[in-house]
Each structure stands twice: as C-alpha cells, then as structure tokens.
Amino acid sequence: MMHLGHLIAATIRIDVGANNLLDFSPESTTAAVGDVLEFHFFRYFPSHDVAMGDFDSPCTPAKTGGFYSGIFETTGSGENANVFSVVVNSTDPIFFYCTVARHCASGMVGVVNPSGSQTLATYKSNARSARSSAPPAVFGGQIVPASSSHSTPRPSVVPSESSSKSSGSTTTPSTASSSSGSTTTPSTASSSSGSSTSPATTGSSSSSSSSTTTSPTTTGTSSPGGGGSGAPSLTFSIIATTLGAICVALLLS
C-alpha cells in the first residue's frame, strides 16, 4: 500500500555558455517555491553573468527584486570553480539574461515557469533590438564553490511502504545523502538520520512498524501439571480395562 510522501526541494542546474555557445542550457525550465536555480559558468571570451529581468523590458534588470551574479571570468576548457545559486520564492515567470556585451540581444536569455502570455520566444524576439544593462552589484543569490553543489530533480511525491519493518528513515530518491551526517549545498541537505532540509522547508520522514512475536501455543496430552485434554480419556481407558479383567475372572471361576 502506497501513500503520499513529503515534497522535497530540487536544485536545478543551468549551464551558462557551455560548448562556447551564447545560451543558457536549459533555457526554459520549471521550479517550485523553495527550489534552487544553480548557474554553472563556462568560458566564452571569457566572461558571462546572469541577471533577472522583466518580461516587458528585455535585457534590463528587474524593477523589483530579482538577482545578479556579477561577471564570472572563466579560463581553461572547463567550468568556473564557483556557481551562483538563487532560491525560488515565487512560481511567477522569471526571465533572466546575460548582460555582457550583446549576449542578450544574440539570444542568451532564459525563463523559469513560463506562462501562456509570457513566453520565452516573445522575450527573445523583443531582446534582439534591446541594449543590455546590469545591476551595480551582486545580490539575490549566493556564490559558492561548484564542488559543494548537487543538482537534484524534485519528485512531486515520495512513495513509501506502510509495511516497512525498518526503524530508520525512509530514503527519498535523487537526494544527496551521507551516512555520517548531512551533505550541505546552497539549497538542500539530507542525511540518513531521516531529515531533509532546504531554504524553504525542513521536514523529516520515517516509517516504522513494531513486530509482535507470538509464542506458539501447544496443547499436549501429558504436560507435567498441565491437566491436558488427554488425561480424562486415559483414566477412563484404565478403569474399563480393569473392569473387563474382573468380569473375565468371575466367569472363569
């Protein structure tokens, strides 16, 4: 029998300028409140950044709230040693772009939770004639080492068996875990002690069932002092045999 488990936060990886391309990958994704957007930067002549913008003003910083990573200078053939992580606090569409040079006008834009009226295609089309601008400083997220980050999908439900006999915690799929404690990322930490922590939610799940050992009941005919059910029949048999022997003796005398 299955039952619904708790929701867990996800860390959503977005590559910035991978394979020497002017794009975000994926450029469109969905996220729930509490999930984390994790931007991984790659070398491209050699700078990139990411800023949140408004749908009706492409390549321009958002008027309210938002985030900005600052420029990431990346050398070599791999990705930058750091990532920029942002906690999602709304399911409204979130448009973002690279502010460097004319990257935004060239199509280096993306969206989280696009809606029917606010699409990435429309934003990208309007960006072709826009001039890019950037916020004055880093805000709205955290710059952390890439080695400490873990991208995890977010399942909507976590199944568990009600008949589980383990007294420990229910392990949910696709979460970073450690047997000696919690693995910390900018967004989530989970450990084998059964707890799952994210910037938005803190929860734990455990399933256990106590088993009852039933001693077998034995019914015997000769249990010492037990007065088993076979005792009356044995006594009757002895009496009948004795009476029969007496009758035979009388007939022969």
pLDDT at 100: 96
pLDDT at 151: 60
Beta bridge partners of 189: 184, 197
Angstrom CA distances, 213 to 84, 126, 210, 216, stand at 54, 71, 10, 9
Question: Does a cis peptide bond (omega within 30 degrees of 0) precede residue 159?
Answer: no
Contacts of 224 (CB under 8 A, 6+ apart): none
Residue in the structure block whose two tokens are 């089309």: 125
pLDDT at 101: 95
What tokens does 25 get?
């990958």
d(CA 50, CA 60) in angstroms, rounded, equals 11
* Kind plus residue range of the DSSP H or E element containing 208: none
Question: Does a cis peptide bond (omega within 30 degrees of 0) precede residue 61?
Answer: no
Beta bridge partners of 169: 206
CATH architecture of 9-148: Sandwich (2.60)
- Per the CB < 8 A criterion, the answer to whether 229 and 219 are in contact is yes
pLDDT at 247: 64
- What's at 106, amino acid-wise? S
The residue ranges of every structural domain in the chain are 9-148
Q: Which of 68, 6, 4 is nearest to 34 (CA)?
A: 6
CA 206 to chain centre: 15
Through-space distance between the first and last CA atoms of the chain, rounded to whole angstroms: 80
8-state DSSP, 171: P
3-class DSSP assignment, residue 123: helix
Tell me how long the chain is: 253
d(CA 185, CA 189) in angstroms, rounded, equals 6
d(CA 33, CA 198) in angstroms, rounded, equals 11
Q: For the chain, 253 residues long, give each residue's pLDDT as a single digit of tens.
A: 433 333 689 999 999 999 989 999 999 999 999 999 999 999 877 799 999 999 999 999 999 999 999 999 998 788 999 999 999 999 999 999 999 999 999 999 999 999 999 999 999 999 999 999 999 999 999 999 997 666 665 543 333 333 333 333 333 333 333 333 333 333 333 333 333 334 333 333 333 333 344 444 444 443 344 444 445 556 566 776 777 777 666 766 5
pLDDT at 249: 65
Contacts of 202 (CB under 8 A, 6+ apart): 195, 196
pLDDT at 234: 60
Label residue 51 exposed, middle or buried (CB < 10 Å: 0-12, 13-18, 19+): buried
Beta bridge partners of 97: 51, 109
pTM here is 0.58
